[in-house]
Amino acid sequence: MLKKFAVICTLMLCVLVAGCSDDQTATVIPQPETKQTQNNKNQEITVTVYRAPVNGEEYLLPEKVTRKAGAMTAPEIALDILVNSSPQDTAKMVSLFPKGTKIRTMKIEDGTAYVDFSKEIINVPQGSYTELMLTTAIVNTLTEFPEIKKVQILVDGKKIASLKGHTDILDPLERNTTLLKK
């Protein structure tokens, strides 16, 4: 009986010592994609983006767009559609993004989306109207998502005062419902 007790204590001591060693290496075995993650990538998602009207009036029109999710989050998809695609109804809506504008990064922290655009975004034509409509379209598109309350627009990784001197974007912007067509 004493021998069994000694063997068990020795084994427990070995396990305890091995568990307390300085060797912190661990093997991570990549998990195969499950059917659920494969389905999510192929799942279609509908987002709302906001576009300026062709007639130049000072309001934004909502446009619902459906697309496969892929590896992007819903806010990333919405922003990508807003920046990189033409409106579905070009007789009523227009995209205000200057040619060559790229989304460098987007991250969401504490309810604020930080969106970093390439420098081409500052080539906004037509003055204050276009600048206001463009910045409001970005903010209202992203604040459609409950996890986003404000949007900080960055250019080449830096805060700037405005795109063309008319709309202050130095601080994060909140949703502007006054420019939404009722």
- Nearest to 143, CA basis, from 180, 104, 105, 95: 180
109 in Cβ contact with 115 (< 8 Å): no
Cβ atoms within 10 Å, residue 66: 10
- Nearest to 94, CA basis, from 127, 119, 64, 130: 130
- Nearest to 166, CA basis, from 133, 135, 127: 127
pLDDT at 8: 55
pLDDT at 107: 97
Q: What is the pTM of this model?
A: 0.77
Cβ atoms within 10 Å, residue 71: 8
- Predicted confidence pLDDT, tens digits, the chain (182 residues): 555 544 454 544 444 444 444 443 333 333 344 333 344 678 899 999 999 999 999 999 999 999 998 899 999 999 999 999 999 999 999 999 999 999 999 999 999 999 999 999 999 886 889 999 999 999 999 999 999 999 999 999 999 999 999 999 999 999 999 999 87
Say how far apart CA 7 and CA 18 lie, in whole Å. Answer: 16
pLDDT at 146: 97
CA 110 to chain centre: 13
pLDDT at 124: 86
pLDDT at 125: 80
pLDDT at 38: 45
Length of the chain: 182
DSSP the chain: -HHHHHHHHHHHHHHHHHHTSS----PPPPPPPPHHHHHHHH-EEEEEEEEEETT--S-BEEEEEEEE-TTS-HHHHHHHHHHHS--S-TTTEE--PPTT--EEEEEEETTEEEEEE-GGGGG--SHHHHHHHHHHHHHHHHTTSTT-SEEEEEETTEE-S-SSSSS--SSPEEP-GGGB--
pLDDT at 69: 85
